[in-house]
Amino acid sequence: MKIDRRCFLSFVIGGAAGTALSPLPWKLTDDLSIWSQNWPWTPIPPKGETTYVTSTCTLCPGGCGISVRRVEERVVKVEGLKGHPVNDGGVCILGASGIQLLYGPSRVQAPMKKVDGAWRSISWDQAIAEIASTLKELRAKGQPQSVAWISDTDRGTTAELCRRFLTVYGSPNFIRTPSMQDAYEMALYLTQGNRAMAGFDLAQATFVLSFSSGLIEGWGSPPYLFRAKSVMRQKGGRMSQVEARLSKTAAKADQWIPIKPGTEGALALGLIHVMLKEGLYKKDFVETRTGGVEALRKIAGDAYAPEGVSRTTGIEAKAIIDLARAFAGAKKPLAICGRGSGRVPGFVQEYLAVHFLNALVGGINTSGGVIAVPEPDYIEWPEPEMDAVASKGMQQPRVDGAGNGRYAMTRYLLNRLPEALAAGAASPVQVLFVSSSNPAYSLVDSQSTAKAFKRIPLIVSFSSYMDETAAMAHYILPNHAYLERFEDVPAALGFPKPIIGLSKPVVSPLFKTRHTGDVVMQLAKAVGGTIAGAFRWESYEACLKQTLGDKWDALRKNGYWVDAKFAPGAFETKSKKFEFANADIAKLPAYASLKAPGDETSFPLTLMAYDSMRLTAGYIGSPPFLVKVLEDTILKKSDVLVEINPATARDLGLSDGSSAVLSTPKGNASVKVFLFEGIMPGLVSMVRGLGHTAYDRFLAGKGVNTNDLMGSVEDPGTGLEAAWGIRAKLTKA
């Protein structure tokens, strides 16, 4: 048979039509997809019995209750604990990513020692013995004060064990990392005489005036404040946000009042001026329970008349008067401060001015106001026996200068440590312990910090993660991750009642880690003498159980203990009143808005850092889920986007998405530009929490660390870190 063209085509077309009509193509497509859907590397999570463990989250000082879901021995989900007084079932974005912090790739899996610049595994016994021998040498040389300890918190048993260790060893240098807690504690102490934490009864307030505080951006305990804000708004409460940038908090407030950054304190004094002049304050409270209002009249005198304040802050005089009237006229007004998430303490005068606003409307220790929550007092250990070296060492001045001279009232000044380390021929700190904190990343001017830390001959990190400080340490003695260990949570930041939470192990430790509390005791035993004698507990768990005493059982069962009948205590000032003025306050320099450092002609713009709930900026690095959900207006590939006003961009010849170089007196960084109508012209703002060099590949090498570009600004009254911005320049790349 001859195969002609016609025959060939008929055969091909007929064959194709026949095949198409048969089930073959469909069967093949189906088989192909089934085959390609069953690659062995697509994981199939094993099934098993599901159980829930009640615990307390320790990823931030928020103190939320969590319910952790386990399938057999695996942790599969972290959820908020329903009925918990702080978060009632809600959970923040970081808390929800908790599983990634347990199983994630940045865990330090065993004790390590740096040998010739590389990490080597080392046994626990040897690591402890080696560090103890250095500690013994320093003591023998009579320099116990050259040991310092940095920790994110000074409350709770672990922190107290570290501090106790330093005390019996002979060093006063226990340093808490800076935050707005420092400034709030100072404001409460100066005016009320209470050594207390500030709690905010936001849910009951009817008018909230926030001075750049990121109420829904990580300020205080996020789930508590989110919920309280929802309740407050539901009940008809209103909120005004004073801020240079349309933050999420500003966007969700009823009123956004743009202000020249750094002048928030001037506005607070301006409001006080109007309230005093117009008699808009709670006379019964001010007359009976406060003292020194006449001095306040002088402080907020004519210099703070609306016209002058208007020039300083850029807010119209009428708006200032209206705001003062609205605030004073509300049933339960509440003023708060602490910029963004409160990572930088700030200017204490500003906190005082805002606190005075609350006092003028009687909003102190009352429903809807600021509540002085007493520091937890359940840790009652016997006074340790001190030997001569320890007593002598404890009398030495602190290396950070806190508690001395100009800084007599300040408790911790970590921001001053780099300077102290850099001065002199040898570093005044010979051994630095770092637990649950990452100062090499999170301190303002992190480059100087890292440089100064390099002068310390021995840095020991207790971090569970390979963070920046751990990376530059000499030893890492990894703590259990937060879902693997016991820990007491002595307070919930910003919560208006005393509350104790218990964090307990949900799974047994995955790696060769040890609880920092246990390691401190083991170090003490290795150093010996009175130091060993100060730690008579068998283990950290035994210590915790004994310390919590009769609360232990309730804490194990419910996860928290709350003082339901709590009533705020009396003022503890000399006059037993709230004091607008006293000898300590008089020692502080008069209020003046702090300028951003840098020269205005070569740096025409001002750079500010802002916080996002979708990034962490402290010791815990952002887990992969957080980086994944970060907006594409913040991060694009590995470039951070800085916000500028379109008007500013026009002047600079920049367009949306274009590359630029951001320079400050501290350094340069390449960035991309995001045009944002919600930012005041002349400002540049950049998110906090990027620019990591450590942690895992999901976080490291993306964006810029704002702290690298920022310069430290010292509050002249207290020495606390008060940097809110720095002069900057943006040039087309």
Partner 1 sequence: MDQQKNKKYGMVIDLDKCTGCGACMVACMAENNVAFREDETDKLLSVAWMRVYRLTNGKSFPNTQECYLPRPCQQCEGHEGHSPCVSVCPATATDYDMQSGIVSQIYTRCFGCRYCMAACPYHVRQFNWWDPIWPDGMERSLNPNVSVRMRGVVEKCSFCYHRYQTAKDKAFLEGRRELEEHEYQTACAQACPAGAIVFGDLNNPQHTVHQLAQADTAHEGKSRNPNAFRLLERLGTNTKVYYLSSQEWVRRAGDNEVKKA
Long-range contacts of 401-410 (CB under 8 A, 24+ apart): 401/719, 402/175, 402/719, 403/172, 406/719, 407/718, 407/719, 409/186, 409/189, 409/190, 409/584, 409/718, 410/182, 410/186, 410/718, 410/719, 410/720
Q: How far is CA 234 from the centre of its chain?
A: 28
Interaction residues for partner 1, span 590-619 (CB under 8 A): 613-614
Among 6, 39, 284, 426, binds partner 1 (CB under 8 A): 39
CA distance 565 to 732: 60
Place of tokens 């910003």: 494
Q: Which range touches partner 1 (CB under 8 A), out of 145-153, 449-457, 588-596, 622-630?
A: 622-630
Question: Residue 223 or 363: which CB sits closer to partner 1?
Answer: 223
**Can you say whether the dihedral through the CA atoms of 556, 487, 402, 295 is positive or negative?**
negative
Q: Measuring CA to CA, which residue among 657, 503, 530 is closest to residue 53?
A: 503
Interaction residues for partner 1, span 659-678 (CB under 8 A): 677-678
Residue 659 phi/psi, 5° resolution?
A: -80, 145
Local structure of residue 405 (DSSP, 8 states):
G
The strand pairing partners of 375, in sequence order, are: none
Count CB-CB contacts under 10 A for residue 22: 10
Count CB-CB contacts under 10 A for residue 389: 22
Minimum CB separation from partner 1 for residue 310, in Å?
Answer: 15
Among 19, 22, 29, 655, binds partner 1 (CB under 8 A): 29
Question: Residue 97 or 173: which CB sits closer to partner 1?
Answer: 97
| Residue 99 in the binding site for partner 1 (CB under 8 A) | yes
Contact 602, 729 (CB under 8 A): yes
Contact 84, 560 (CB under 8 A): yes
CA distance 129 to 525: 10
Question: Residue 529 or 624: which CB sits closer to partner 1?
Answer: 624
Q: Which range touches partner 1 (CB under 8 A), out of 455-463, 546-554, 628-636, 656-664?
A: 628-636
Minimum CB separation from partner 1 for residue 226, in Å?
Answer: 4
The residue count for binding partner 1 (CB under 8 A) is 81
Q: Which residues contact 486 (CB under 8 A, 6 or more apart)?
A: 502, 503, 504, 505, 515, 540, 541, 544
Minimum CB separation from partner 1 for residue 93, in Å?
Answer: 4
Question: Residue 406 or 628: which CB sits closer to partner 1?
Answer: 628
Exposure string of 443-472, with b = 16+ CB inside 10 Å and e = fewer, is: bbbbbbbbebbeebebbbbbbbbbbbbbbb
Minimum CB separation from partner 1 for residue 231, in Å?
Answer: 8
> How long a stretch of residues is the chain?
733
| Residue 102 in the binding site for partner 1 (CB under 8 A) | yes
Among 27, 120, 628, 650, binds partner 1 (CB under 8 A): 628
Among 103, 285, 381, 566, binds partner 1 (CB under 8 A): 103
Interaction residues for partner 1, span 489-528 (CB under 8 A): 510
| Residue 656 in the binding site for partner 1 (CB under 8 A) | no
**Residues 157-196: x where in contact with partner 1 by CB under 8 A, - otherwise, as a string:** ----------------------------------------
Minimum CB separation from partner 1 for residue 71, in Å?
Answer: 6
Minimum CB separation from partner 1 for residue 219, in Å?
Answer: 12
Interaction residues for partner 1, span 202-261 (CB under 8 A): 216, 222-223, 226-227, 229-230, 233, 246, 248, 251-252, 256, 258
Question: Residue 30 or 322: which CB sits closer to partner 1?
Answer: 30
Q: Which range touches partner 1 (CB under 8 A), out of 155-163, 178-186, 576-584, 633-641?
A: 633-641
Q: How far is CA 35 from the centre of its chain?
A: 48
Alpha helices in 617-660 (DSSP H): 624-628, 646-652
Among 1, 3, 34, 425, binds partner 1 (CB under 8 A): 34
Two tokens, residue 511: 């790696």
Question: Residue 96 or 728: which CB sits closer to partner 1?
Answer: 96
Helices (H) and strands (E) in the chain, counts: 28, 28
Among 36, 288, 508, 601, binds partner 1 (CB under 8 A): 36
Question: Residue 311 or 697: which CB sits closer to partner 1?
Answer: 697
| Residue 626 in the binding site for partner 1 (CB under 8 A) | yes
Q: Which range touches partner 1 (CB under 8 A), out of 51-59, 99-107, 495-503, 656-664?
A: 99-107
Contact 453, 446 (CB under 8 A): no
Minimum CB separation from partner 1 for residue 227, in Å?
Answer: 6
Minimum CB separation from partner 1 for residue 369, in Å?
Answer: 22
Contact 255, 239 (CB under 8 A): yes
**What is residue 354's three-state secondary structure?**
helix
Minimum CB separation from partner 1 for residue 621, in Å?
Answer: 14
Question: Residue 696 or 708: which CB sits closer to partner 1?
Answer: 696
**Can you say whether the dihedral through the CA atoms of 280, 281, 287, 290 is positive or negative?**
negative
Among 27, 141, 298, 697, binds partner 1 (CB under 8 A): 697
Minimum CB separation from partner 1 for residue 74, in Å?
Answer: 5
Interaction residues for partner 1, span 56-95 (CB under 8 A): 71, 74-80, 87, 89-93, 95
- Give Cα separations from 667 to 478, 690, 729 (angstroms): 33, 16, 11
**Can you say whether the dihedral through the CA atoms of 35, 41, 43, 46 is positive or negative?**
positive
| Residue 433 in the binding site for partner 1 (CB under 8 A) | no
Q: Which range touches partner 1 (CB under 8 A), out of 28-36, 332-340, 366-374, 456-464?
A: 28-36
Q: Which range touches partner 1 (CB under 8 A), out of 39-47, 202-210, 297-305, 654-662?
A: 39-47
Among 2, 5, 6, 47, binds partner 1 (CB under 8 A): 47
CA distance 272 to 276: 6
Question: Residue 634 or 722: which CB sits closer to partner 1?
Answer: 634
Question: Residue 375 or 651: which CB sits closer to partner 1?
Answer: 651
Question: Residue 45 or 279: which CB sits closer to partner 1?
Answer: 45
Question: Residue 491 or 634: which CB sits closer to partner 1?
Answer: 634
- Give Cα separations from 453 to 114, 417, 469, 472 (angstroms): 15, 9, 9, 8
